[in-house]
Structure 1
Amino acid sequence: MTQRKPPGVPFEGWVDHQIHEAEKRGEFASLPGFGKPLSNDSAPYDEMWWIKAKMAREGASYLSPVIECRKEVEDLPASLSQVMSEAEVRQRVSDLNKKITDLLLMPPPGPPLGIKRLDVKEILREWRRARDSGR
C-alpha cells in the first residue's frame, strides 16, 4: 500500500515519485506484455476496447442468443461458399437447426426468434447451384 501524500507536495510530483520508486523496486518488470509491442496499434481508437478484449478472452458475446442465431442464419450462405464437402454443409445446417430448436423450445428473454428450422435439402440445392456456377 502506498503512503499518504505529505502536505505541501504537489499531487503530480507525489505520483511521479511513487512510480519512480516502484520502477526501482522492479514492480513493473514482471507485468504481462512487458517489452512487447502493443497489439493492433494502427487501429482507430475505440472507447470500448477493454470490454471487447475482455469478452474475447472470456468467449462471451454481446448479442442476445436470438439475435446471434438470426445473424448466423443470415450469414450462412456466405459461410457455405467456402465449404468444399456436402457433409460439412449438412453438419453446419444441422448445428444451426439445433440452436434454432433450442431457442424455440426455451426462448430467452428478449425479442422472439421469428425464424423456422432450415431445410437441409433446399440449402444443399442452393449450395450446389452456387458451387457449379462458380466453376
Structure 2
Amino acid sequence: MTDAWEASVEAKIQGAVQRGEFDDLPGMGKPIPGRGAPYDESWWIKSFLEREALPSDLLLPTSLQLRRRIEQVPDEVRDLPTEQSVRDFVAQLNAQIVAWLRFPDDGPRVAVRPVNTDDVLRRWRAERARPEVRTTVTEAAAVLLPPRRHGRGWWRRWRRRRG
C-alpha cells in the first residue's frame, strides 16, 4: 500500500516538474538560510517575527514589557504637542500597569509601579524650554580645533608666555 502511495506521489511530482510548476520559485538558486548555524529551537518564531516585521518585545512577559515601556516614556512623550497629550499617554500606561498589578501573569516578578505624571511633565517642560543648538560643521571645527599658528618659532613664543 505504501509503495502504491509513494508511486502516485512521485508521479504527481514528476508531472509538476514537466509542466514547469517548480520553475522560478522564490529563493531558487540561493543558499538555505541558517544552514551551517547551530540549531535553535525557536528558529520558526524568530523567522516569523522577522518576516512579519514584528518587534521582538512581543515575546517578553507582560512585566518586562511594561518595565521597558516605563524606561522609554521620556523618548515617547518628547514629541507630544501638549501637556494634556502627555497626561493622556501616562494615564493610559498607568492603566495598563494597574491592570497587570491586579492580575499578574505567570512571568517573572519584576517591580513595576505606575509612572508619576508630574515627574514626566516636569521633564517634558524642561526639554521644551531648552533651546535647540544648531551649529554648522565649520563652527564646530572652529570650536574643537586650536587656532592655527603661523610663522617660525611660535612654540618658543608660546612657552615664554606660559612660563
Which TM bucket (shorter chain)? Answer: 0.5 to 0.7
Residue identity matched to 1:50:
F
Specify the alignment match of 1:69 in structure 2.
Answer: 66
Offset at 1:81?
Answer: 1.4
Residue identity matched to 1:67:
L
Specify the alignment match of 2:113 in structure 1.
Answer: 116
Question: TM-score when scaled to structure 2?
Answer: 0.53
Specify the alignment match of 2:137 in structure 1.
Answer: none
Counterpart mapping for 1:18-33 below 5 A: 18-21=15-18, 23=20
Q: Structure 2: where are the runs of 5+ without partners?
A: 28-32, 35-42, 133-163
Q: Structure 1: where are the runs of 5+ without partners?
A: 29-36, 39-44
Specify the alignment match of 2:122 in structure 1.
Answer: 125
Larger Rg: 2
How many residue pairs align between the two structures?
A: 109
Give me the whole-angstrom Cα distance separating, in 2, the residues matched to 1:129 and 1:99.
27
Residue identity matched to 2:121:
L
Deviations 1:23-43 (A, max 9, x none): 46xxx8xxxxxxxx99xxxxx
Distance 1:134 1:15, change over 3 A: farther
Offset at 1:67?
Answer: 0.8
RMSD: 3.6
Distance 1:22 1:51, change over 3 A: farther
Identity %: 21
Residue identity matched to 1:20:
V
Contact 1:86 1:124 in 2 (8 A): yes
Specify the alignment match of 1:84 in structure 2.
Answer: 81
Contact 1:55 1:61 in 2 (8 A): no
Specify the alignment match of 1:31 in structure 2.
Answer: none
Offset at 1:121?
Answer: 1.2
Specify the alignment match of 2:48 in structure 1.
Answer: 50
Contact 1:97 1:118 in 2 (8 A): yes
Distance 1:17 1:113, change over 3 A: same
Specify the alignment match of 1:4 in structure 2.
Answer: 6
Specify the alignment match of 1:103 in structure 2.
Answer: 100
Distance 1:16 1:100, change over 3 A: same
